[in-house]
Amino acid sequence: MIRLRTVLLAMVLCTAVASYGARAGEKAIKVGVLTDMDGFAAETGGPGSVVAAQLAIDDFKSAINGKPIVLLSADMQDKPDVASSIARQWFDRDGVDIIADLPVSTVGLAVQGVARDRHKVLLITPSLTTELTGKQCSPWSIDFADDTSALSQGTVRAMVGQGFKSWFFITADFAFGHALEHDAIEVLKQAGGTVVGTIQNPVNTTDFASYIVAAQASKAQVVAVSDPSLDTINAIKEASEFGLTQGGQQLAALLMYISDIHSLGLKVAQGLSVTSGFYWDQNEQSRAFAKRFSDRAGRPPTKEQANIYAGLVAYFQAIKDIGSDDPDSVIANMRTRKIDYFGKQATLREDGRVMYDVTLYRVKKPEESKAPWDYYTKVADVPAQTAFLPLAGSACPYLKK
């Protein structure tokens, strides 16, 4: 996988540089993918995010209304200061029109501040905090991520509806983990469930034995893991070793990508409940995109990568239709139209939130999987109006009162 990532990175960087040089001096529509190229988020975004952006550009034959589309990419190392510096350079010196991706909520918030000050468009796909559309919102942001509200609503409400009402939480002891757990508990209480217990683990925990034992002793029907992906993978591995699901308890990961399931393998991950707005095998349109993506990246896209593609296609279509790349005009146009989300419909709300249905999936048993990456069985859909926070009561200062 590391070798594949290196090859993809070399390919996209060469493409970006060549494209930029070929168009020097011309007015262009410039897209910057600001991502994690070689860190913990590289599998879910990284070079694959650049591939997704290029596929969107290919749909428009690399130009809109006579203006070439130029793609740039950079590794922001999951650091808010590095990401902000690159964003300022791209906006101020290089004339970038839109920045996409932005893993890690602190990075998303930092770059959104830079973009907001400069009246620039962001397409946010992995940053999960609801603050991006709350008190730190921007009139020019497109938040296309499964945020903490959607992940909690999707997993908790759907599972409680199936009768799983008592929950135990294993939670990362930092802001993201606390936010995810808080949102999940709020949904759990609203849905008529109960919290049997909670326990906190340090970030980058490698030994989850004591946490799993505590979860088993709680006798909760569901054990929910509220951790970043790598910690969640470690927790699920140990839960399998301790026979948690074999003992009759359900295991739910509040944040999980299909690439994480691939890393775990179905023998370990089977039975796990996960929520996602996108799954490559959900319908004919998603499978067609996954085929195009896999031909270049060697595997199906994650939800982050798919959302970059869908968001950029909608952005480019607005520019084409109105004949302008002015941020105010483009965003205003996008709010009036339906966004094609792989055969489903999505809309851009006034606070920047992209509204779409999410789905609760259960990870298949090894014998149920019929093809590579055939990992999910659909359990239930959660409508967008239920999944995401309502506008009523929003702290976004740009909303019309």
95 and 206: one domain?
no
71 and 216: one domain?
no
The predicted model scores a pTM of: 0.92
Q: Which of 20-29, 109-118, 127-136 has the lowest mean pLDDT?
A: 20-29
42 and 88: one domain?
yes
In this predicted structure, what is the pLDDT of residue 83? 98
Cα–Cα dist 30/319, whole Å: 12
Query: Does residue 374 fall inside a structural domain?
Result: yes
pLDDT tens digits, residue range 178-198? 999 999 999 999 999 999 999
* Mean pLDDT, range 130-137, rounded to an integer: 96
Looking up residue 245, the CATH number of its domain turns out to be: 3.40.50.2300
pLDDT tens digits, residue range 260-282? 999 999 999 999 999 999 999 99
Q: Which of 21-25, 98-102, 269-273 has the lowest mean pLDDT?
A: 21-25
pLDDT tens digits, residue range 348-391? 999 999 999 999 999 999 999 999 999 999 999 999 999 999 99
Query: Residue 71: is its pLDDT beyond 50?
Result: yes
Query: Does residue 394 fall inside a structural domain?
Result: no
62 and 154: one domain?
no
Cα–Cα dist 342/284, whole Å: 8
In this predicted structure, what is the pLDDT of residue 189? 95
142 and 155: one domain?
no
* Mean pLDDT, range 240-257, rounded to an integer: 95
Buried b (16+ CB within 10 A) or exposed e, 65-90: eeebbbbbbbbbebebebbbebbeeb
Q: Six-digit token pair at 196?
A: 């049997």
Query: Does residue 262 fall inside a structural domain?
Result: yes
pLDDT tens digits, residue range 194-231? 999 999 999 999 999 999 999 999 999 999 999 988 99
Query: Does residue 399 fall inside a structural domain?
Result: no
pLDDT tens digits, residue range 289-344? 999 999 999 999 999 999 999 999 999 999 999 999 999 999 999 999 999 999 99
Residue range(s) defining the domain that contains residue 237: 149-276+358-382
183 and 257: one domain?
yes
State how beta strands 98-101 and 121-124 pair: parallel
> Where residue 401 falls among pLDDT bands split at 50, 70, 90?
low
213 and 339: one domain?
no
Cα–Cα dist 219/215, whole Å: 7
Secondary structure tally for the chain: helices H, strands E: 15, 16
